[in-house]
Amino acid sequence: MKQRSFGRQDPRETDLALIARFKRGEARAFDLIVDKHWPGVTRLAARRLGPDSAAEAEDVASEVFSALHGELPRWRAEASLYTWLFKTTANRCASRAQSRSRRRRISERLATQSAPAVDEGRPDEPLRLQEESRRVQAALRKLSERRRAVTVMHYCHGAPPAEIASVLNVSVSTIRGTLQKSLKLLRGILGRGE
């Protein structure tokens, strides 16, 4: 039976032989597996993620091979590497598409919400607050869709990082990093060195 491969088939060594070498402690065997299957995994990811997704496809491939590295020590000889790579790549892409869709919905919802209304007829309400609100909204629009969604969810709606992480299917540390970077960017846009 001919062995399927995402990448170029190396006739000298099958996947199972490479896995066996890796399990015996030969780190180079894993590099050969990656070299052999990387092109196919990135092609599959790019097809699943859509046009202009080359960088994201590379990220998916990195995640897939990182997961494979952790899985190989427990690999069963009857398992098909091709099937595992295909399934894992497809699942990672589906998860990213779901997160992307969720972020888009959140961003669209946030875009339709306006800033708190300022009653321009009240003489006790300073015009400065109205201008500041416009500046902050303009600065938020300059952030990426993901950064804007995370920032607004946390600072405007009071959502804790753990809740945002759960909604966006990412780690809490990723959300905290995004919030830190967003604040730094907003301060730069607004000209504040705080």
pLDDT in tens, 144-174: 878 888 888 887 777 788 888 877 778 888 8
Q: What span, in angstroms and rounded, lies between the C-alpha atoms of 19 and 13?
A: 10
Does 3 map to a domain? no
Residue 194, pLDDT score: 44
Q: What span, in angstroms and rounded, lies between the C-alpha atoms of 133 and 131?
A: 5
Q: What span, in angstroms and rounded, lies between the C-alpha atoms of 2 and 151?
A: 52
Chosen domain end from 83, 99, 115: 99
| Burial class of residue 174 in the structure, from the number of CB atoms within 10 Å of its CB (0-12 exposed, 13-18 middle, 19+ buried) | middle
Q: Give the domain range for residue 28.
A: 15-99
132 shares its domain with 56: no
93 shares its domain with 22: yes
Please give the model's pTM, rounded to 2 decimal places.
Answer: 0.53
Total domain count, the chain: 2
85 shares its domain with 136: no
Q: What span, in angstroms and rounded, lies between the C-alpha atoms of 3 and 23?
A: 20
Does 130 map to a domain? yes
94 shares its domain with 130: no
Does 141 map to a domain? yes
**pLDDT of 45 strictly over 80:** yes
159 shares its domain with 92: no
Q: For the chain, give the percent of residues with pLDDT over 90.
A: 28
User: Contact 15/82 with Cβ under 8 angstroms?
Assistant: yes
Does 113 map to a domain? no
Residue 3, pLDDT score: 45
Note the pLDDT tens digit of each residue in 110-142.
Answer: 666 544 554 555 554 566 667 777 788 888 888
Q: What span, in angstroms and rounded, lies between the C-alpha atoms of 38 and 125?
A: 60
**pLDDT of 96 strictly over 60:** yes
| CATH number where 148 lies | 1.10.10.10
Q: Which amino acid is at 140?
A: L
**pLDDT of 193 strictly over 50:** no
For the chain, how big is the Rg over CA atoms in Å?
Answer: 24
